[in-house]
A and B are shown apart, each in its own frame.
Chain A
Amino acid sequence: DAGVIQSPRHEVTEMGQEVTLRCKPISGHDYLFWYRQTMMRGLELLIYFNNNVPIDDSGMPEDRFSAKMPNASFSTLKIQPSEPRDSAVYFCASSPIVAGPNYEQYFGPGTRLTVT
């Protein structure tokens, strides 16, 4: 398996622009997570999906952030309009389960976002 795929790997944009981050989870994984990592705040869960349905979006910073999962193999995280404080590494992770002895999350390589 190719693992979790994210694109782009790097994104540099100007403040006010729309940014779309993409994720393809591992085939067969029913759970998909979006995380944001910064030095100040560490690794934060933004939102997670189960079978393409958003289950918990309590970590989404504000209305400028939105996430969708139109099908089992694709998810997007959109920031509109972007601000410099959104600069971070955004990780997508997937998992077949979220409980039990075999629970683990598989992380993608991340998208490094810089907003100038």
Chain B
Amino acid sequence: GQQVMQIPQYQHVQEGEDFTTYCNSSTTLSNIQWYKQRPGGHPVFLIQLVKSGEVKKQKRLTFQFGEAKKNSSLHITATQTTDVGTYFCAGSSINAGGTSYGKLTFGQGTILTVHP
């Protein structure tokens, strides 16, 4: 079945440093989504990428979708303590049909700690 791998599993940074998490899928994706989960909270949708090579920005966050639509990354510039949490990528396989249509497979997540 489809697998989505995320690295690193943990990242500790000093406030002001940059942060990047990477996501790789075993299959070509039709779309990839990113979610953030604060400690003790629930996943909250950040963004969706659907086009090959797509780049989207949200303030200090930059999201990329690979040309082959099998990988993605999230980069945070100048981290702040409010960025603390777990960042998940989740993708739908381009070959998904029938009961798999629209199903998201989540990566294991990257836990970000920001030291003030």
Contacts and interface: CB of A to CB of B under 8 A. Distances in A.
Interface of A: 31, 42-45, 48, 55-56, 58, 91, 93, 97-99, 101, 103-110
Nearest to B108: A42
A56 B106 contact: no
A48 B103 contact: yes
Contacts of A110: 42
Interface in B45-88: 45, 48, 50, 88
Contact of A45 (B33, B103, B108): B103
Please list the 3 inter-chain residue pairs (A to B) with the smallest Cβ-Cβ separation, ordered nearest first. A98-B102, A56-B99, A104-B45
Interface residues of B, number: 23
Contacts of A101: 48, 50
A99 B102 CA distance: 6
Contacts of A108: 42
Given A45-B104, A99-B30, A101-B50, 17 more contacts: A31-B102, A42-B107, A42-B109, A43-B43, A43-B106, A45-B103, A45-B105, A48-B103, A55-B99, A56-B100, A56-B103, A91-B42, A98-B102, A98-B103, A104-B48, A108-B42, A110-B42
A94 B107 CA distance: 19
Contacts, number: 54
B106 A42 contact: yes
B101 interface: yes
B31 interface: yes
A100 B102 CA distance: 10
A56 B1 CA distance: 14
B88 A43 contact: yes
A79 B36 CA distance: 28
A69 to B, nearest CB: 15
A104 B42 CA distance: 14
Contacts of B106: 42-45
Contacts of A106: 45
A106 B45 CA distance: 7
